[in-house]
Every structure is written in structure tokens, then in C-alpha cells.
Chains A and B, each alone.
Chain A
Amino acid sequence: MVGQMATYSTSEFKGGLKILIDGDPYSIVENDIVKPGKGQAFNRVKIRNLKTGRVIDRTYKSGESVEAADVMDTDMQYLYNDGEFWHFMHPETFEQITADKAAIGEAEKWLKEQDICMVTLWNDAPISVTPPNFVELKVADTDPGLRGDTSSGGGKPATMETGAVVRVPLFIEIGEVLKIDTRIGEYVSRVKD
């Protein structure tokens, strides 16, 4: 569909708004109005490049317009990886999309088949993938826990079935299923069947 170019005026700026700058899609992280008592108002914004994740500062004269970026966050089910691309499916329309390594980024190590992820689409193409906040993963490898160890402070590394390495308590064994917080990459609990 070819429509008129959508724009946002600075008065519409707010956190989460998706705008297009120098050809890249950005999300507004923080919008500050800076206005000397009696003078020209400016919008000072922190914006995150949705492709690279880099956050930069920009200043606008209040009243200016900025082109809108056609960016949409969509929940999709992760299907499989074919060695080069990651395949996702919309759970209601069954429409499938493929994401490349650049779009998957850090999410790769948390992706388990069947899990619902948030896929960010720009002009209908995926540019980033956010795993669920909590995932349940099986321990693929870890050192055996030391019986009678009381210095429980440290824990030990465990490699999960997806390849992620997480610090877990000493009593965790290979084959157990753990709940992990993907936002901080930390162990939450054991999952009982």
C-alpha cells in the first residue's frame, strides 16, 4: 500500500514512538522538553536505533515534524533454525517470516522451539527479536554438584539446551529444567514436572 508519508510533530513525541532518521528506524527512549523561561522550546530526545540498539541524543525545535517509521511489535512463535535463518510463525494467521542473524542478535541463545517471542517488524521485515521474559530450558551440561559443599555463595556455570550459559546453584544436575529470566540472564528456579 502506498500512502502519504506519515509524520509526527514534536508535540506527539513520547517514549516508544517509532521514527525514521537518516534511513534507520528509531524508538524514542526519553523525551525532554527544554525551554528557557521565555524562549524557544526544544525537544531533547534519547532514541534507540532499532537495528543496532545504539542510543543517541537528538535535538528538535518544537513544532518540527519527523517521519514515522512503520515499525510493529508482533508476538510470533519460534519454529526452527535452518542453519542460516530463523523461522517464526504468526500464531493466528499462520503467516511465516524468516529472520537473519543480525535481527536475532542476542536472542539466539534463548530461543526454544514453540516459544512465543516478540518480533519487531520494520516495513514488514524483522529487525529484532525479543525472547519471552522467562524461558524454561533443560540443562545440557554442568559439573556435578559437590556433596556437602556449604560455601553455597558462588554457584556454578551450566550450559542450557539452547547454548546459553547461566550461573546456577550447586545442586542443579544435567537434565533438569530451569526457569531463567532472559532480561538479566539469571536462574530463577527449578521447574517441577
Chain B
Amino acid sequence: MKKPDSGHSESWRPSASLDDLKARASLLADIRSFFSERGVLEVETPALSHAATTDPAIESFVTQHRGPASGKEPPLYLHTSPEFPMKRLLAAGSGSIYQICKVFRSEEYGRLHNPEFTLLEWYRTGYDYHEMMDELENLVSGLLEPYIQLGSSERRSYAEVFQVYAGINPHQADLQALKKCAEEHAVSIPVSMLEDGDTSSKDVWLDLLLTQIIGPRLGKDKLTFLYDYPASQASLAKIRQENENGGGEVAERFELYLKGVELANGFHELQDHNEQAKRFKAEVDRRISEGRPAIPQDEYLLEALEHGLPQCSGVAMGLDRLLMLATGHRSLREVIAFPFDRA
């Protein structure tokens, strides 16, 4: 027997206040004027595509087009980021471009995740990733100025924050050392990762330490850029041979943190189509080995890279999270008119 529901359901109402929706509108207007002043072109690319991300950590929504050959059509995927078609525009000579769009990620729903969310993504031709961080810093500082006071921004390497907050070298530590580090810092370790025969990779352990110990301490009252990720987490970033600190490879990738929340992810973009094809294949192989559906890789992207992607950097930023931090809220629900459970 359930307790009777008292009163009417209010779920038809927006979960965000009108003030917060107005703040959203002005955020979007400010972003557009920022890029317009800098001569960056606003573009639109398909949300529905025949190919999708192969990234094993991201799950696409799948749907189908009902055409004359009903039932025979291949699956279609809602984009999880507009990255691939935007790179095709870059390869076709668009110059620097930006896009504000809804993207869709399955299996991501929580206080800081909504399966449908608003992304700002932009690319700058000729920029390396530090110049890209400069521009991101300019944009975000300007957008947040009416809302919160920030100290001067900082840039810290992935290796440095692991050394400072976890006392470990993330590039050289092995599984045993990472596990010991997690235990020493009283991290709540998922039970399955302690079982015999657990196959969690080194990256899973690094992600555990990053999300439990390090991330929450980043960007307390300032913008903190985290850069130079392990090469195994390169995703679509260029990999560089490091000469200092005993060498090794790092990915020219960065993330922006504010108040412990990850806001943006950027790359010095990979241009080599052979290397890109190799990374696609490795990701599809991993999906198959985990018993998950293979995903058709984006052949158009590979052709565009083969044609030639200009040297460029790109960054994607979650606007709902940015708005949440600007308005001092704790959950995305408070800045999205109709979150997933009311959609």
C-alpha cells in the first residue's frame, strides 16, 4: 500500500525559474556576440547521422528513418557532439567556426547530467591548444563577470595535480600503485575493482582518482585548466613526445574546471587520417570485446582528414553547467526548463 499522493502533480511546470531562463537567453546572446566580434562563423550540422562516435565511454541514442524500404534502413544516431561534421567544414575551408546545439547522450542522467544538453563547440584554425585555452578563458571570464567574482586563472598539467593531490606520478604509476593510492586516500573503491580478475584498465583507476580526489578540488574560486593528459586518453587530440620528466607521451588535450565541476574539453586536433582510423578501430574493437554493439565509424570524417584538416584546436563546453555555476545552483534541473523526467 502506497502513501496517497497529496495534492496535484506539478510536473507539467518548468523546474527552472523564469529568472534562470532569462539568464540562459542572455548567456546565449553574449556567446553569439563574442564570436561575431571575432569573426568566427556560426554553423549548423546534422543532429541525426549515419555514423556516430565510437568512444567506448559515450553511448549514442539510436533511431531509424522510415522510408519506402521500411525496416531495411540502417540505424541513425543522434549526435553526442557536432565534432565530426564541423571538422568536415574545416577541411572544406570554412575557417574558424562555432556551433551552439543540443546533443544527446544515453545513460547519462544525474545532478550534473541530462541526456539532452546544450553544447557550445568551436574550432580555431591556426591555434595551438594553449591559444585555445586563452580564448576559452576570455569567453568564460566575460560570461561569468555579472555573476561571480573569480581569481586569476591557472593552468596545471595532469601530472602536476596528481602529484600534488594524490602524491603519485600518473604517467609512470602501475595498477598496484594506483590501487594503493586510492586506498591511502580513503577513496570509496567500486567493489568490482577489488575483485580478483578485475579487468579495469589503468585509465579507469586514473579516472577514479581524478573524480574522487582531484576534480572536486579544482577551480574552487577560479578557472583551472588541466592539460597534457595521458596518451591513452587522447581521444581526438594530437600526441606529443615529452622530453622533460623522464620522457613519455602526452595528449595535447585540456579540460576546464570551475568549483570542482568539469565545464569544457579541448584538443589540439589530430590531423593524421591514418592515426584517426587506427583510433576508431581500437575503440570499435574495445566495444566488441565488451559485448556492446559496434558503431559505424564516420567515413566522411576520415575522407575529410585525408583531404586535409588545417592545423587547429577545438573545444566543447556544456552550457547548462556553465549557467548552473553562474546562477549559483547545485543541479542542472534548476537551469533547464524541462529536464529529462519532465520532457
Residues of A bordering B, CB below 8 Å: 11, 30-44, 57-62, 64, 73-75, 90, 92, 118
Contact = CB atoms under 8 A, between A and B. Distances in A.
Given A11-B107, A35-B57, A39-B57, A57 B200 contact: no
Nearest to A43: B110
Nearest to A13: B110
Contacts of B113: 33, 35
Given A35-B57, A38-B55, A74-B1, 7 more contacts: A30-B111, A35-B108, A36-B255, A37-B255, A41-B57, A60-B190, A92-B1
A33 B193 contact: no
A105 to B, nearest CB: 19
B11 to A, nearest CB: 15
A59 B3 contact: no
Contacts of B207: 36, 39-40, 42
Given A36-B210, A73-B3, A61 B203 contact: no
Nearest to A76: B1
A115 B113 CA distance: 42
A59 B188 contact: yes
Contacts of B262: 36-37
A34 to B, nearest CB: 4
A38 B211 CA distance: 12
A71 to B, nearest CB: 13
Given A38-B235, A57-B188, A58-B188, A33 B108 contact: yes
Q: Which of B58, B211, B265 has the largest number of chain A CB atoms within 10 A?
A: B211
- Chain B interface size range: 35 or more
B61 to A, nearest CB: 14
A39 B108 CA distance: 13
A40 B1 contact: no
Interface of A is mostly: strand
19 contacts: A32-B111, A33-B111, A33-B113, A35-B108, A36-B211, A37-B255, A38-B265, A39-B210, A40-B57, A40-B207, A41-B57, A41-B107, A42-B190, A42-B207, A42-B208, A42-B211, A44-B188, A44-B212, A59-B188
Interface in B175-206: 187-193, 200, 203-204, 206
B63 interface: no
Nearest to A33: B110
A41 B111 contact: no
B53 to A, nearest CB: 10
B203 A40 contact: yes
Contacts of B188: 44, 57-59
A62 B265 CA distance: 21
A102 to B, nearest CB: 23
Contacts of A60: 190-191
Nearest to B208: A42
Nearest to A34: B211
Nearest to B107: A11
Contact of B204 (A40, A43, A57): A40
Contacts of B204: 39-40, 61
B233 interface: yes
A92 B109 CA distance: 39
A59 B235 contact: no
Q: Which of A36, A44, A61, A90 has the largest number of chain B CB atoms within 10 A?
A: A36
B112 interface: yes
A161 to B, nearest CB: 26
Nearest to A75: B1
A61 B193 contact: yes
Q: Which 10 A-B pairs have the closest CB atoms?
A: A33-B110, A37-B265, A39-B207, A59-B188, A40-B207, A61-B190, A34-B211, A40-B204, A38-B235, A36-B207
B55 A61 contact: no
Contacts of A74: 1
A61 B192 contact: yes
A35 B211 CA distance: 7
Contacts of A62: 107
Interface in B134-161: none
Contacts of A92: 1
B253 to A, nearest CB: 8
